[in-house]
Structure 1
Amino acid sequence: MTKTILITGCSSGLGKMTARHFASKGWNVVATMRRPEPELADQYPARILVAALDVADPTSIEAAIQAGIDRFGGLDAVVNNAGITMVSIFEATPADAVRHIFETNVFGMMNVIRAAVPHLRRRGGGSVVNVGSGVGIAAMPLLSLYTASKQAVEGLSESLSYELSSQNISVRLIQPGAMRSTNFTATGMAASQAAPVPESYKHYFDHMLQSMINYPFASTEEQSVVEAIYAAAIDPTDRLRYQVGPDVEEYARLRWSTSEVEYRAGMQRLTGHSAWQAKEE
């Protein structure tokens, strides 16, 4: 029986690539986004259904799931890819921006999982693949809100991996590193407009933003993340985490294979924080 997967956030490069990759492997795909782009299905018109879905709107989630079931007969897996980031100084970030990132990255993911689980159970089980981030392992300066949301995804995924196993549903967590498509400069400028940097932080913000631009690791290839998502969806083992990228592998090593002192020193060096401290001294 051909399997069907629903993927959120398919307006992005990673989401689009993931949808097409599953279709190329013979899966039926419900490719969802807030504003549907029908051309996404052009390569695989028989296998890809493009549907509107806003993770903050439970009604749209139910409608997209039902459209997929009506087209393909059932639902076997979900990829929670939709998410947003923000580079900012926490103290100056407006409360509505804080709520927005959690509504999308955490509560939106919860909405999709809650809606999908009954349909997965009707098929005898399935898989939920959550796209997290390397910051779920190790926090980064200027990314406090994104980090907090992705560490919430970490905890949610691990806890659900136990709960949902009782329903024959596996939970997988993808931990990608910084991808080539990520533009820290543009993101930082947009964030500065949404949350102006206080004068007392300006020197620090500028230094740390430049450190992001001069990231010390090779970018994680989007295709590698796509392949990890696919591998996670079909993995018959009990594995939870899939780290993708040299930066994430180093964060994991520092976090889980060294002392707290070594971890802190390593992260301060990698993020450029220690270089800022040296300048200030």
Structure 2
Amino acid sequence: MTTVLITGCSSGYGLATARHFHDQGWTVIATMRRRREDLLPASDRLRLLPLDVTSADSIAGAIEAAGPIGVLVNNAGIGGVGAFEAMPLAHVRKMFETNTFGVMAMTQAVIPQMRSRRSGVIVNVTSSVTLTPMPLAAAYTASKQAIEGFTGSLAHELGAFGVRAKLVEPGYAPTTRFGQNSGIDAQDLIPKAYADFAQPILAEFANPPMITKESDVAEAVWQAANDASPWLRYPAGPDAVALAQVA
């Protein structure tokens, strides 16, 4: 029986992915900043651990408590929508701490055990903005693009030890509250000079022509975790798949 540790399981993709792996018979370690017992079913194959991916002590404690990890899913992330000119650099750094350095720290923490076993999979969840960058998300796109390059390089580096690195690239899913977990209202980051440019884009965010379901992402992560081939990228959702075909 394989154990998967998933970050960011309090909502959205992470919660759906934890449920999916559990339904497939895996042992699931679902992590989140604030532990909530009500989100997932009671099961001897399910453990909830508190984890802040921006804290070295929190990461070390979670990895020690988890025991052997067969698959790591780096899903935790925060969004941010607005004109870059108006984006506080403190929030840009906050995005990178979670979306980029948090992923790197978690990955570095599990590599030794996977390398010594000569087996394991690291699945990094990025975004379809890495396929076609969208306006009003420059900092977020940069934080996710960094992980694309990181994972591609890591796939070569760890492949010699039997460890696979994979990317899942979800499309846009309104139910994940993209941007809302930033604590900043997008409208506050639209200076008057950008209003005419931004409003049609924000309107499309509110009513996108295609959306990604949380189950699309869970299934893509499952596929990536179980694919023994060297394939790197797994677009998730119809919009992401469409973008990948023209990227």
* 2:191 maps to 1:201: no
Please list the CA deviations of residues 40-92 of structure 1 after superposition, one character each: whole Å capped at 9, or x if unmatched: 4534x2011100110101111111111111xxxx1111000101111111011
Aligned to 2:64: 66
Report if aligned partners of 1:19, 1:29 keep a CA contact under 8 Å in 2.
Answer: yes
> Could you say which structure has the larger radius of gyration?
1
Question: Which amino acid in structure 1 is aligned with residue 57 of structure 2?
Answer: T
Superposition CA RMSD, Å: 2.0
Report if aligned partners of 1:77, 1:120 keep a CA contact under 8 Å in 2.
Answer: no
Aligned to 1:30: 29
* 2:52 maps to 1:54: yes
- The CA distance in 1 between the partners of 2:162 and 2:218, in whole Å, is 24
Task: Give the total of aligned pairs.
Answer: 247
* 2:213 maps to 1:213: no
**SS in structure 2 opposite 1:207?**
helix
**SS in structure 2 opposite 1:38?**
coil
Which residue of the other structure, out of 62, 69, 77, is the alignment partner of 1:83? 77
Q: How far is 1:24 from its partner? A: 1.9
Please list the CA deviations of residues 200-245 of structure 1 after superposition, one character each: whole Å capped at 9, or x if unmatched: 112222222113223222x112112101111111111111111122
- The CA distance in 1 between the partners of 2:179 and 2:94, in whole Å, is 21
Q: How far is 1:186 from its partner? A: 6.1
Aligned to 1:252: 244
Which residue of the other structure, out of 131, 135, 138, is the alignment partner of 2:132? 138
Question: Which amino acid in structure 2 is aligned with residue 178 of structure 1?
Answer: Y
CA 239–67 in structure 1, closer or farther in 2 if over 3 Å, else same: same
Q: How far is 1:36 from its partner? A: 0.8
Report if aligned partners of 1:184, 1:209 keep a CA contact under 8 Å in 2.
Answer: no
**SS in structure 2 opposite 1:167?**
coil
CA 189–123 in structure 1, closer or farther in 2 if over 3 Å, else same: closer
Aligned to 2:221: 229
Q: How far is 1:183 from its partner? A: 4.9
Question: Which amino acid in structure 2 is aligned with residue 236 of structure 1?
Answer: A
- The CA distance in 2 between the partners of 1:141 and 1:210, in whole Å, is 13
* 2:15 maps to 1:16: yes
Aligned to 1:113: 107
Question: Which amino acid in structure 2 is aligned with residue 129 of structure 1?
Answer: V
Question: Which amino acid in structure 2 is aligned with residue 53 of structure 1?
Answer: L
Higher relative contact order (CA 8 A, sep 6+): 2
CA 188–12 in structure 1, closer or farther in 2 if over 3 Å, else same: closer
- The CA distance in 2 between the partners of 1:57 and 1:247, in whole Å, is 34
Report if aligned partners of 2:13, 2:176 keep a CA contact under 8 Å in 1.
Answer: no
Q: How far is 1:121 from its partner? A: 2.2
TM-score calculated relative to the size of structure 2: 0.93
More deviation in 12-21 or 89-98?
A: 12-21
CA 14–46 in structure 1, closer or farther in 2 if over 3 Å, else same: same
Question: Which amino acid in structure 2 is aligned with residue 66 of structure 1?
Answer: E
CA 187–211 in structure 1, closer or farther in 2 if over 3 Å, else same: farther
Unaligned runs of at least 5 residues, structure 2: none
TM-score calculated relative to the size of structure 1: 0.82
- The CA distance in 2 between the partners of 1:17 and 1:183, in whole Å, is 14
Please list the CA deviations of residues 113-165 of structure 1 after superposition, one character each: whole Å capped at 9, or x if unmatched: 00011122233310000111100111001111111111111111111110111
- The CA distance in 1 between the partners of 2:182 and 2:53, in whole Å, is 25
- The CA distance in 2 between the partners of 1:145 and 1:181, in whole Å, is 21
